[in-house]
Amino acid sequence: MDSPVETMKDTVLGQMREQERAGALSKAHSYDHVENVARYAGVFGTYLAGKMDLDPERVASFAQMSGWGHDVIRYASQNESGEDASARLLESWYNPLFAESVSRDDYQRLVVDIVRKSDRSFAEMQSIYKDDPEALAVALALVAGDKLIEASGPRVLERRSFFVGGERMKNPRDLGAVFSYPIESVSGVLSETFVRLGDVNHVMNYASHPALLKLAQELHAYQYQFYAGLLADLKMSEPEAVEVLSQRLRSNQLTEKLAVRTEKGGKRLVAERHLDGTYFDANNLSILADTVRNLPDPLELAWATGLLVKAFATAESPKDAIEIYKSIDAGISGPTFSKWLNDIIAYREGTFADQLLEKLQG
């Protein structure tokens, strides 16, 4: 009999193949994404279980199951992102697939309920599961795999440009309701960057675990370069961009909730003064302080950012964009774009994130 993790993996991949045949699979939340989240959730689960005096094998197993299952249903949208639908589908699988290998209580508590809440931040999960250490370890491991490893570092440059700048910009019920694809893809990507850096994936969400906080700094360094580049490409200051993008999103009923999220995250970034290093100095975040004080030349950074967003937003898949642009001469694309693309490739090959996780475990 296969292990519960293998059963979950095989079933999720089968479900995704059905979605792909129906043309309903988000390419930004496809096979490679769930595989990476499951893999790194297992690593983080082992690490966190050791810190919390829990059974590492058990926590890692449920973290991997949740990682495989968290995006089994995912739409090319943020208005209907799929967490609840995924949880309901996972519930329906219990009797036929997992009843003989996992107790119903464990499956519901450590897989279904955590997947249902998988859009929550690391900090929110700590509050939700404060009275259930085992569920807390699984939930934090899933968030770290999904929002830290897969939604920061070089990986986020690829995925946000493709998913937000492409899939969501093409969706007339999401960003496509107010922004024109692809000429305003940078604006769409910046709106989501406000949400992520200023709220959902704020660096201090990881402050309760010093090793994770250091890892978050190293990964977020890419996001802050990208953030500065998006502003430079649009020729806007932070306060101006928050106001302009929030107003655009408020102009349509379909994107009112996105406006609230954008404004919340953006105003926090402005108030805390991330880009001039003030916040990072005050909180001893030396890696990020050094990053924002040593950004590439603004014109070169704007060029790299605009080129990257265009490359992925207009491609059929992220892999296609990489194949097209990796052969471009560095003299044309510039040093920042070339470094970003090389690091995206290194992540896909498994070397980039593995090196960071070695530091975590060391």
Q: How far apart are CA 166 and CA 321, in angstroms?
A: 12
Confidence band, pLDDT 50/70/90 cuts, at residue 247: very high
- Asked whether the predicted pLDDT for residue 2 surpasses 50, the reply is yes
Q: Token pair of 230, please?
A: 């998006």
Nearest to 287 by CA among 229, 224, 221: 221
pLDDT at 358: 79
pLDDT at 199: 95
Amino acid at 243: E
Q: How far apart are CA 49 and CA 47, in angstroms?
A: 6
pLDDT at 77: 45
Q: How far apart are CA 21 and CA 28, in angstroms?
A: 16
128 vs 149, more confident: 128
What are the CA-CA distances from residue 285 to residues 203, 214, 316 (Å)?
9, 8, 38
Exposure letters 158-192 (e unless 16+ CB within 10 A, then b):
bbbbbbbbbbbbebeebbbbbbebbebbbbbbbbb
Q: What proportions of the chain, in percent to the nearest 5, are helix, strand and coil?
A: 75, 0, 25
Q: Token pair of 65, please?
A: 């199951």
Q: Give residue for tokens 């005096």.
A: 53
Q: How far apart are CA 153 and CA 354, in angstroms?
A: 12
Within 53-152, where are the H helices?
A: 56-69, 83-93, 104-107, 113-116, 122-128, 133-143
Nearest to 231 by CA among 193, 278, 182, 183: 193
Q: How far apart are CA 226 and CA 222, in angstroms?
A: 6
Q: Token pair of 262, please?
A: 């954008």
Cα 357 → chain centroid: 17
Tens digit of each residue's pLDDT (9 = 90 or more) over 287-297: 999 999 999 99
pTM of this prediction exceeds 0.85: yes
pLDDT at 75: 54
DSSP count for the chain of H helices, then E strands: 21, 0
